[in-house]
Amino acid sequence: MLTNALRALALLIAVTVLAGCQFVGDNRGNVPLPQSLLERMAAIGSAPGEPMMIRVYKESSELEVWKRTRSGQYALLKTYPICKWSGTLGPKIKEGDYQSPEGFYDVTPALLNPKSSYHLSFNVGFPNKFDQALQRTGSYLMIHGDCLSVGCYAMTDEGIKEIYALAREVFKGGSPAFQLQLLPFRMTEDNFARHASSPHVAFWRDLKIGADAFDQSKQPPAWDVCQQRYVFNLNDPRMSPLDPNGACPVASYSTMAAL
């Protein structure tokens, strides 16, 4: 009798522990922001619900989170090390090339995955309008945890916990999306000189226009696609949305910046 009672007690404990683990697992997406990050946010004049922007630098394996401040401009909140990305510098071309993408993307609430096999994740939104215009293919391109990449940007689990929580709070604050800038490297002329022989220089020069627009204004630039290239900050609603394969407006930001 005592043995049976002990077995029943052991079974009850095991079930309770497993249930607790399941609860923790299901609650991954609701882990609160750490106090240190909240204090840093307050120091730059921002708050959890304020809009954010993410910048990735592939070559140096860095991910930056920027937050809108009381001034209306964005300030750097924190830089996270990217644990692993795959492929080489340059855009993703086709499914199965094991290439981490580059370009400008918009992440919406529907792209968050709190039950990811890689701890937590969100889809970068590939293929976007630009990728589709060039008939580039690929699926499930993520920023996630677990330090394992087959075309994604993999963070540490601790890193993705914070980044995911930041995204969650931004959406709770009412933002419909946040901008994701996936860049090959910091867009300096020295870096362009180092990679002058790359077949992707023209594409990178296009991305640089958008990156420079943010650096100058500290506001995420609006982006669109025409003539199979990115254009930025077209404020005339008559010009948007553009035909990604059609002619660009004469007064497009990218055209003026290239002159």
Catalytic residue ranges: 144, 152
Q: Are 59 and 184 in contact (CB under 8 A)?
A: yes
Peptide bond into 241 cis (omega under 30): yes
Q: How far is CA 57 from the centre of its chain?
A: 11
| Residue closest to 129 by CA, chosen among 19, 18, 240, 237 | 240
Provide the 10 A C-beta neighbour count for residue 207: 23
The set of residues, in sequence order, having a beta carbon less than 8 Å from that of 128 and lying 6+ positions away, is: 103, 104, 105, 106
**Helix or strand or coil: residue 174?**
coil
DSSP notation for 64-86: EEEEE-TTSSEEEEEEEE--EE-
| 105-111 long-range Cβ contacts below 8 angstroms, 24+ apart | 105/179, 105/180, 105/182, 106/177, 106/178, 106/179, 106/180, 107/54, 107/167, 107/177, 107/178, 107/179, 107/180, 108/176, 108/177, 109/171, 109/176
The single residue listed with the structure tokens 């993520």 is 142
Element (H, E) at 147: none
The set of residues, in sequence order, having a beta carbon less than 8 Å from that of 160 and lying 6+ positions away, is: 118, 119, 120, 121, 143, 144, 145
